[in-house]
Amino acid sequence: MIKVKCDINIVDSHFASIGLGLIVIVAVRLAKAGEHIQNIVKETRRAVDQIRMLGLLDTMKYVARGGRANKSIIELSNVFHIKPMLTFRSGEVTVAGLVRTYPHGIDKLCKFIERVPAIQELGIVYSTSYEQANRIIQRLDIAFPKQKSM
């Protein structure tokens, strides 16, 4: 067995999915550039504060199964046939808005992205429809060239 002493630093991202992925990318880029561990941790924590994650769900079925959202939000969504727009706040999934139709939700997502100044990286995540994700990418291509999106 090889024994190596190394420093371990823990950074709570408060995110999942693409939000966590973007934070990891920041840390890896800094490490590859030869940055000192203290600077990597500092910049990674700064990235955590800068990440904005917004999602639109067609159904709350899987969120309910995973226990990641308030039960009253799930019930309201089902009763009124509304589509929730979700975000992360302090590591918790919270409602960022409500829409009646999925296309209206996509429009709101795109308008939100287009209004955010100085986006450094943009990730589009999809679970069922690559075509829908690709339409969003094409719509946003004017404001954000493909080399900036993932």
Domain boundaries, the chain: 1-51, 52-148
| Confidence band, pLDDT 50/70/90 cuts, at residue 149 | very low
Residue 143 makes CB contacts below 8 A (sequence gap 6+) with: 113, 114
Q: State how far the alpha carbon of 132 is from the alpha carbons of 25, 33, 128, 150, in Å.
A: 25, 36, 9, 15
pTM (predicted TM-score): 0.67
Q: Between 55 and 36, whose confidence is greater?
A: 36
pLDDT higher than threshold 60 for residue 147: no
* The CATH number, out of the four listed (3.65.10.10, 3.30.1180.10, 3.30.1360.20, 3.20.20.70), of the domain defined by the range 52-148: 3.30.1180.10
Q: Are 85 and 108 in contact (CB under 8 A)?
A: yes
CB atoms within 10 A of CB 109: 21
Model pLDDT, residue 34: 94
